[in-house]
Structure 1
Amino acid sequence: MLKLVYKNTRAQVRINGELSEVFDIETGVMQGGIPSPVLFNIVFDFIIKKVLEQCSVEGVTFAYGSTDFYHGARDKFENFDILALMYADYLVALTQTLDDLKLFIKIFENVTQAYGLTMSVKKTCVMSMQQFKEGINGKIVKNQEVDIPDIEIIIRNQKIETVDSFSYLGCWVCRDQRPDKEIESRLTKSATAFNMLRNVIWYRKTISIEAKLRIFRACVLPVLLYGSEVWSLTAVQENRISTFYMKCLRTILGLNLGDRVANITIMQLSGQPSIENLMRRNRLRWFGHANRMENENGPHLGKKIMFSYFPGKKRPTNTGIRKRWENKIMDDIEKFDIKIWRKDTKNKDRWREIINRHVTMNPVPSNIKSIIQEFKDISKKRRAEELAISHGKPQRKATEVLVKDCHNRYDCPNCKKKFKPQGITGHIRVCATHWCKKNNIKIWKK
């Protein structure tokens, strides 16, 4: 049947209402056809096997031990190599040296051309991972990177671009292995998704808050937390995610920062879990899924990669790098009070029940509109009191009165300590209360 579908296939193209001449289709698969992805996978798998037969490159060597994340000196491990990662028509090649990479790309180009496929040079890029020099004592020398020769790979008279980061399956991968660009991308895309519904959904008083929250969980949260299963964030990065999350919930409830409603109260009113617990749940969900991966002959490759490490290599003690993903997983297990994760992850239903305990959605209070109105009335009364205290004069910001130095820092008028613009405002409200009243500076009141 497949042969009949693809044999003697012809097509026409409609341009400005007129059909072109009939032409034969000799390569490719049917657009939108159900068997098309399977057929392409078969061809691509065949091509990769041909490349591996002609190529002597082994890829990057990892070790899979017998003690999960803990690798002692007596750990028994087996080595395995990762050369190519494939998904649909995407291919990522991992090599130890530049010569191995050039050889792999050259053979891949020859094989694909021989079997009717063409590698897109414009969509191809090369990236080398950031490495720092190590001293005699095994510690890294900060700000001194290992010299990497210029990467020049020419395919069909076109040079493959060398980059510091690239997007793979919707996630950013950077040479310094930090998630800053990925977090920036997630926040931008989720803010766009949220703002597209601002006038249509969030500001509509005819739509219930329960419905708005369901739409938020379906349309915005998946964009924000896409790829969060592999995140290993710092406290600052987690705070950025949390700030956006709370801003969205405030908008949905009809509140703002000027109403001075605490985050814990916002989550209680909306019935939503904290974003930190949602990220923990996502990490542990993927961790349990990968830990259940087993083949007839032993652990699946995905499980091996999750528990893998570089044999004979010790991590320098002065890297100053955030916690690794495995450290985050252990912290998540401790936060969720999971005692025997090795046993619990093997039972899919049991594991799902455990990790979802801390992310349950509570119902919205039936009188939520009256509660929100109370907060609004309290806020309105407080503003009126502040205006009366200032005798009708508009209160000023601390940064409008203080003078910053050449390093963009301000001196506290009381203790003379230096602060950034983000920190001086909160500090002087506590440290220099008398000065704030004298200069008509805003002082927060609960």
Structure 2
Amino acid sequence: MQGGIPSPMLFNILFDFVIRKVIDEASVAGVKFSYGGNDFFHGSREKYENCNVLALLYADDLVAMCETTDDLEKFIRSFEKITQKFGLTMSVKKTCIMTSQQLKEDQHGKVLTGQEVDHPSIDINIRNQKIETADSFTYLRYTITRDQRQDTELEIRLEKTARAFNMLRYSIWHRKSVSIVSRLRIFRACVLPVLLYGGEVWSFTTTQERRITSFYTRCLGTIIGVNLCDRMSNDKLLEITGQPSIEDILCRNRRRWFGNVNRAVYDDNEASLIKKVIFSYFHDEKRPQSIGIRKRWEDKVMLDIDALQIRNWRSLTQDRDRWGKAININVQTKAVHNNIKEIVFEYKQRAVGRRAKERAVAQEVVQRKVTELSRKDRNNQYKCAGCVKNFRPQGITNHVKACIKARAWCNKNKIG
């Protein structure tokens, strides 16, 4: 049966049955949220219901969330007991514990930056093996950290995308037999999904958005043969390649995921667990005001919606087709510029001339023309400073360079 078509379904049924047994025996509530309605704004008089999230399952991966150490230990020991009973074994090496970062507060309730609350170490042993305590862990290829920042996830995304991009560098990007249109299609199909994996839930800072934008434009520049020395602006690069900006793509992905979640209801019109978590909050809790306000995911979504001037998102998200047209306005892929090769060549030539001038300045040799230092007569001719002969503008510079009598004058005026 192993490797057969029914195997995954049978395993999911068994694992779901085991988890239900574990929850019944452990009697642990999990993390408590409040869900009031399909909105991010919650008033003091809003009616709400409490919902608990304890375990998240995907195939054989399990995430358990508890509010206290005792509840976590009780759940783990119940899980170990039940799985052993049904012939399953928990891998202690692949299991880790992570606690959320909690900062100290002074007597006025202000958060003390960089000072964490001292908690006793968590010591849970299974089969004489201690479960490791980690500062971050990866679930479904998404990295979560104690401080809920996304710097680590961004580094991992950029590293994996760079590896995928460089695998095609000599076989696709630098091969002249592959057209630019085909290269861009391969980039969108093979590289861009690696970069945007999990981007629906990102809430990057401005600095992080600049990093991912810089990486995206460098990839496009490599595809068409432009480097940093050519000094092509990002707007010009996107214009001639016909590609949307990475900021617009990220905003579109967030809006699309938000619309999918907002439509997620059961047959009895009850909101799904994902929808409840998205619109959930901690009742009677406020965000600290003394450490700066980081934009949350819902703040980013509202900014994305306001950018499109959508005022009726609550009803518009229920219509999938209309919502799709509204959020895809700025991310349409356009045709590649007809003269893209000529434009790239022009920028290359400018770069060559610019580098030549920079080298000349570095060597303290300024390339100057005789016509810039001499005056022309009535016949539109210039006089050589050495032999005092008259020449047309097209020939005076070359003559002065070759004239022995004008050599001292050339050295004085830096004509070489």
TM-score interval for Structure 1 and Structure 2 normalised by the shorter chain: 0.7 to 0.9
> Structure 1 residue 391: deviation in Å?
4.0
Q: Is the 8 A contact 1:67 1:75 kept in 2?
A: no
Q: Larger relative CO (CA 8 A, sep 6+): 1 or 2?
A: 2
Partner of 1:353: 325
Amino acid at match of 1:388: A
- Residue by residue over 1:326-363, the C-alpha shift from the partner in whole angstroms, topping out at 9 and shown as x without a partner, is 11111111122222111111011111111111111010
Partner of 2:85: 114
Partner of 1:317: 289
Match of 1:291 among 262, 283, 286: 262
In structure 1, stretches of 5+ residues that fail to align are: 1-28, 395-446
Q: Is the 8 A contact 1:172 1:181 kept in 2?
A: yes
Amino acid at match of 1:210: V
Q: Distance in 2 between matches of 1:140 and 1:287?
A: 32
Amino acid at match of 1:256: N
Matches within 5 A, 1:38-437: 38-66=9-37, 68-295=39-266, 296-391=268-363
Max Rg structure: 2
Deviates more, 1:76-85 or 1:330-339: 330-339
Using the size of structure 1 for normalisation, the TM-score is 0.80
Q: Is the 8 A contact 2:137 2:144 kept in 1?
A: yes
Amino acid at match of 1:331: L
> Structure 1 residue 316: deviation in Å?
0.9
- Residue by residue over 1:342-390, the C-alpha shift from the partner in whole angstroms, topping out at 9 and shown as x without a partner, is 1111011111111111111010012211121111112222222333344
Task: Name the SS of the counterpart of 2:112 in structure 1.
Answer: strand
Q: Is the 8 A contact 2:37 2:279 kept in 1?
A: no
Task: Name the SS of the counterpart of 2:33 in structure 1.
Answer: strand
CA RMSD for the aligned pairs? 1.4
Q: Is the 8 A contact 1:65 1:308 kept in 2?
A: yes
- Residue by residue over 1:213-264, the C-alpha shift from the partner in whole angstroms, topping out at 9 and shown as x without a partner, is 0000111111111001111111111111001001001101101111111110
Q: Distance in 2 between matches of 1:267 and 1:180?
A: 26
Q: Distance in 2 between matches of 1:391 and 1:125?
A: 61
Q: Tell me how many residue pairs correspond in the alignment.
A: 365
Q: Distance in 1 between matches of 2:291 and 2:275?
A: 27
> Structure 1 residue 161: deviation in Å?
0.5
Amino acid at match of 2:58: Y
> Structure 1 residue 97: deviation in Å?
0.2
Q: Is the 8 A contact 2:33 2:50 kept in 1?
A: yes
Aligned-pair identity (%): 56
Partner of 2:380: none
Amino acid at match of 1:204: R
